[in-house]
Amino acid sequence: MIEMQEVYMTYPNGVVALNGIDVKIGQGEFVYIVGPSGAGKSTFTKLLIREELPTNGAVTVNNKNITELKWKEVPYFRRNIGVVYQDFRLLPKLTVYENIAFAMEVIEETPKNIRKRVMSVLEQVGLKNKARFIPDELSGGEQQRVAIARAIVNRPSILIADEPTGNLDPETSWEIMQILEEINASGTTILMATHSKEIVNTIKKRVIAVEDGTIVRDEHRGEYGYEI
């Protein structure tokens, strides 16, 4: 369902971020992407959501080579992928409810569907009682749960999480991992870039290690493999 073939990515300033990536990830997998800072992890995820185009190679998502998408097809393609970031990226002036509903409004869901589905994902992330709060009134862990709810509200087949626990304390990080595991258990493919040795070595999943733009390790139930 996700495949990269001979993928190279050189930024306009000449930095080689990916240097020949070949990988296949099946529907429903949970994959950690690990590696030192600057290894190419973010670039890898940006190619999967067509935020960047590779210099060379094919990026196939759900049987479509997305490097060939026309500009106007990109928003439709992105509906099928949810993204969560380290810094949450919520809209600060909107309530929790509105932040999540907004993702459904842009795809023109009916108000009735929106109400039902937003309450359902709020329940899933344990924030039903905070629907009317604004992000500033929430803890970091709660804000990340809102971001996750927003990312899955349109039922994407893939969820990309770029260091989702990077700004959270250990206890909150485990809560976030539990939610991600539940989402994965319902069939959503999860790709999670992380620097958390504790998480990777405790909740065992496939580990893809990237260094200098290439995959140096790809193991089922792998280890983090770095000291920090």
Footprint on this chain of ligand ADP (rule: CB under 6 A): 11, 13, 15, 17, 35, 37-43
| The 56-61 sheet, strands edge to edge | 16-25, 2-10, 56-61, 64-65
Distance of CA 82 to the CA centre of its chain: 6
Q: In the complex with ligand ADP, which residue's Cβ is closer, 37 or 110?
A: 37
3-class SS of residue 189 = strand
CB of 44 to ligand ADP, least distance (A): 7
Q: In the complex with ligand ADP, which residue's Cβ is closer, 28 or 36?
A: 36
Measured between alpha carbons, how far is 55 from 10 in angstroms, rounded to an integer?
A: 6
CB of 68 to ligand ADP, least distance (A): 22
189-193 and 30-34: which strand pairing?
parallel
CB of 55 to ligand ADP, least distance (A): 12
Q: In the complex with ligand ADP, which residue's Cβ is closer, 86 or 154?
A: 86
Q: In the complex with ligand ADP, which residue's Cβ is closer, 57 or 114?
A: 57
CB of 41 to ligand ADP, least distance (A): 3
CB of 9 to ligand ADP, least distance (A): 8
Q: 113, exposed or middle or buried, with CB in 10 Å at 0-12, 13-18, 19+?
A: exposed
Measured between alpha carbons, how far is 155 from 203 in angstroms, rounded to an integer?
A: 24
Residues forming beta bridges with residue 8, ordered by sequence position = 19, 56
CB of 69 to ligand ADP, least distance (A): 20
- In three-state form (DSSP H/G/I as H, E/B as E, the rest C), the secondary structure along 14-78 is CCEEEEEEEEEECCCCEEEEECCCCCCHHHHHHHHCCCCCCCEEEEEECCEEHHHCCHHHHHHHH
Contact call for residues 30 and 205 (beta carbons, < 8 A) = yes
Q: In the complex with ligand ADP, which residue's Cβ is closer, 85 or 97?
A: 85
